[in-house]
Amino acid sequence: MRTAKTPGSARSAARALPRPLGLVPTMGALHAGHRSLLERARRENASVAASLFVNPLQFGPSEDFERYPRSFESDVAQFEAAGVDLLYAPSVDEMYQPNFSTSIDVGALAKAFEGAARRGHFAGVATVVAKLLGAIEPTRVYLGQKDVQQTAVLRRMIGDLDIPVEVVVCPTVREPDGLALSSRNAYLSAAQRAAAPSFHRALESVAAAFERDGDADHVIATARELLESPLVWEYLAIVDPATFEPRKDVRRPALVVGAVRAGATRLIDNVVVARPDGGDPILTPPLLQAAGRT
Ligand code: PAF
């Protein structure tokens, strides 16, 4: 595995790799969720690149940028073991030169839900991912469904800016009790961890009840009761998976999104409302893939 520290050296190393080239962008602290993205990228491409960069632009002033888990040595070993050909791991100064001032605003989609709770977060994500795509020029980029609004924002940005890359969204990897894997799960106390599966159960119950009942307000009110203390709801909603506009009736496709607070830690998760044809609007969305635009 070759490691590049600057956009220029990453680009020349990436250009030398056989195509197709899959990119797995990460902020490190790798877990089985990341490994599933790396495995899929390895299966589907002649070459695999990964990035490791804890992006300050996507953290608010009161968020956990400083204490975000960092485990460089163990991450590098896992990238190696996963068969990554090129690791792009720039410093903050390399990524953002003095006087850096560009920010990508994806519009209303980036202001709702996670965007409302974390102001500027999606501008930071879109900006860094645009830079990563510019440096690596991958054929495909691999993202996890757990950060589903991030995948919608990035699809929108990639489509709007005509960036020639295919977005591949991979299913959320969960603990046996349903908790979605996340680097932030490490922050949970024993009591918070014990209550955490009730969050996923509540989302599942919204999806199942919405299919039967079709009244979003009613099923959400019922499911809110299922969350166990000390977890506290931030939001629970049924939305259109592409626009994140609320869905009030059983028109499909639909996605249940939620966020809860566990002390200072936020957990997010989502589940798809099943479609009669078995199609999945997140993992295999119609039309929005940028691949056709290359
Ligand atoms: O999902 C993440 O880990 C980050 O938001 C990403 C896509 C690597 C951009 O920093």
Q: How many residues does the chain have?
A: 294
Residue with tokens 């957990």: 267
pLDDT score at 286 = 59
Distance 24 CA to ligand 1 centre (A): 9
pLDDT score at 70 = 95
The residue annotated as part of the active site, out of 31, 34, 121, 200, is: 34
pLDDT score at 275 = 74
Residues of the chain within CATH 3.40.50.620 domain(s) are 2-170
pLDDT score at 279 = 80
- Assess whether 31 carries a catalytic annotation: no
Distance 263 CA to ligand 1 centre (A): 23
When computed from its CA atoms, the radius of gyration of the chain, rounded to whole angstroms, is 19
pLDDT score at 274 = 77
Q: Is the CB of 125 under 6 A from ligand 1?
A: yes
Distance 261 CA to ligand 1 centre (A): 20
- Helix 216-224 vs helix 197-213: crossing angle, to nearest 10: 150
Residue with the nearest Cα to atom 8 of ligand 1? 26
Distance, CA of 136 to CA of 165 (rounded, Å): 11
pLDDT score at 283 = 87
β 255-262/232-239 pair status: antiparallel
Give yes or no for a contact between 44 and 32, defined as CB atoms under 8 angstroms apart: no
Testing ligand 1's pocket by substitution, the residue of 30, 147, 168 carrying the most ligand atoms inside 8 A of its CB is 147
Residues of the chain within CATH 3.30.1300.10 domain(s) are 183-290
Distance 120 CA to ligand 1 centre (A): 14
* CATH annotation of 183-290: 3.30.1300.10
The class (CATH top level) of 2-170 is alpha beta
Q: Is the CB of 55 under 6 A from ligand 1?
A: yes
Q: Is the CB of 147 under 6 A from ligand 1?
A: yes
Ligand 1 atom closest to the CA of 129, numbered from 1: 9
Distance 273 CA to ligand 1 centre (A): 25
Distance, CA of 125 to CA of 104 (rounded, Å): 9
- Residue 74 is encoded by which pair of tokens? 């163990």
Residue with the nearest Cα to atom 5 of ligand 1? 125
Residue with the nearest Cα to atom 2 of ligand 1? 26
Ligand 1 atom closest to the CA of 55, numbered from 1: 10
Write out residues in the chain with pLDDT < 50, as ranges: 287-294
pLDDT score at 278 = 75
Testing ligand 1's pocket by substitution, the residue of 27, 88, 181 carrying the most ligand atoms inside 8 A of its CB is 27
- Helix 121-136 vs helix 148-160: crossing angle, to nearest 10: 60
Omega of the bond prior to 230 within 30 degrees of 0, cis?
Answer: yes
pLDDT score at 251 = 67
pLDDT score at 284 = 80
Q: Is the CB of 183 under 6 A from ligand 1?
A: no
DSSP string, the chain: -EEE-SHHHHHHHHHTSPSSEEEEEE-S---HHHHHHHHHHHHH-SEEEEEE---GGGS-TTSSTTTS---HHHHHHHHHHTT-SEEE---HHHHS-TT--------GGGTSTHHHHSTTHHHHHHHHHHHHHHHH--SEEEEEGGGHHHHHHHHHHHHHTT---EEEEEPPPB-TTSPBP-GGGGG--HHHHHHTHHHHHHHHHHHHHHHHH--HHHHHHHHHTTPPTT-EEEEEEEE-TTT--B--SS-SS-EEEEEEEETTEEEEEEEEPP-TT---TTTS-SS--GGGG-
pLDDT score at 280 = 86
Q: Is the CB of 28 under 6 A from ligand 1?
A: no
Distance 155 CA to ligand 1 centre (A): 14
